Amino acid sequence: MKLFSSVHDVTDIKALVAEALQLKQNPYAHQHLGKNKTLGLVFLNPSLRTRMSTQKAATNLGMNVMVLNIDKEGWALELRDSVVMDGDTVEHIREAAAVMGQYVDIIGVRSFPGLKNRDEDYNEVIFNKFIEYCGVPLISLESATRHPLQSLADLVTIEELKTKPRPKVVLTWAPHIKPLPQAVPNSFAEWMCRADVDFTIAYPAGYELFADFTKGATITTNQEEALADADFIYVKNWSAYEPYGKVFPGNEDWMLTNQKLKNTNNGKVMHCLPVRRNLELSAEILDGPNSIVVHEAGNRVWAAQAVLKQMLEKLQ
């Protein structure tokens, strides 16, 4: 694997999930792979889990890791082409990405959407510039439209904890106070549509996701119906795809509560985190027996390690 930007870069999803679960059993068995290899993690936006889990995964494989919070610590980056750089930006992404590629063997990049210009976000303009100029294998640490390391960890978690061959998985929209990216739900949907699960997406009218990501899913605006007999419930807020990046007033009653869990199959509750308590997800669920959010976050290590391992095997 030379690029991990979406589920489309994975040739065998089942094998990758199995690899992640094997690495969980035996984290340090492949330290030779990463010897004298360096991973660069570049963040244009904040991170907790992605940064720490990917760093841990790389260390488990014997790699060195360099982290650059480029939005805070780097020179102000120019992302547009054909501009006279006489404003606040100091360094162009063309040079910055190319130079980083001189120092590392694999690079990871996080770059959220602006949520203003849909074409720019959905064409992955910033992320694709890193691919074009860095010259080394690249991993998405969440781009404008996808968060594949999260989705892989989510699938690993479902495989690990499922109690029947084909569990019912429900992605349900949650309230928030600000517009959030569609990256996590897009990505979760496109992985679930390729997994051996019965997959439903529920959201209030107006929050349709881009159809490319949801082909094969059952889609409803009735949360109660969606939750019936659910084995896994994936909670996430997102802003509208159309009109792009907007949020509509109301829908506070979409927050998941213990009452709503009653109709599920003792559903296990997932969230990518960070989560705003009692706004997106009730504290009673987060602190109760059905929440697996911390376990899920723990699995981020094995997802990242499986991807890094496949990339390192190509570099040998």
8 vs 17: CA distance, rounded Å: 15
User: Whose Cβ is closer to ligand SN0: residue 86's or residue 252's?
Assistant: 252
Among 135, 216, 243, 274, contact with ligand SN0 (rule: CB under 6 A): 274
Please tell me what DSSP assigns to residue 85. Answer: -
Among 2, 32, 35, 276, contact with ligand SN0 (rule: CB under 6 A): 276
Per CB under 6 A, 171 contacts ligand SN0: no
Taking contact as CB under 6 A, which single stretch among the options 159-167, 178-186, 259-267, 281-289 is the one that binds ligand SN0? 178-186
180, 182, 184, 190 alpha-carbon torsion, rounded to 10°: 170
Q: What is the DSSP string of 13-44?
A: HHHHHHHHHHHHHSTTTTGGGGTT-EEEEEES
User: Least separation, in Å, of the C-beta of 46 and ligand SN0?
Assistant: 8
Per CB under 6 A, 288 contacts ligand SN0: no
Intra-chain end-to-end CA distance of the chain, in Å: 12
User: Least separation, in Å, of the C-beta of 1 and ligand SN0?
Assistant: 22
Please tell me what DSSP assigns to residue 210. Answer: P
Taking contact as CB under 6 A, which single stretch among the options 16-24, 164-172, 211-219, 272-280 is the one that binds ligand SN0? 272-280
157 vs 53: CA distance, rounded Å: 15
User: Least separation, in Å, of the C-beta of 237 and ligand SN0?
Assistant: 7
Per CB under 6 A, 277 contacts ligand SN0: no
Beta strands in the chain (DSSP E): 3-4, 38-43, 64-68, 77-78, 91-92, 106-110, 138-140, 168-173, 198-202, 218-220, 232-236, 268-270
User: Least separation, in Å, of the C-beta of 112 and ligand SN0?
Assistant: 7
Residues at the site binding ligand SN0, with contacts judged by CB under 6 A: 142, 178, 180-181, 183-184, 272, 274, 276
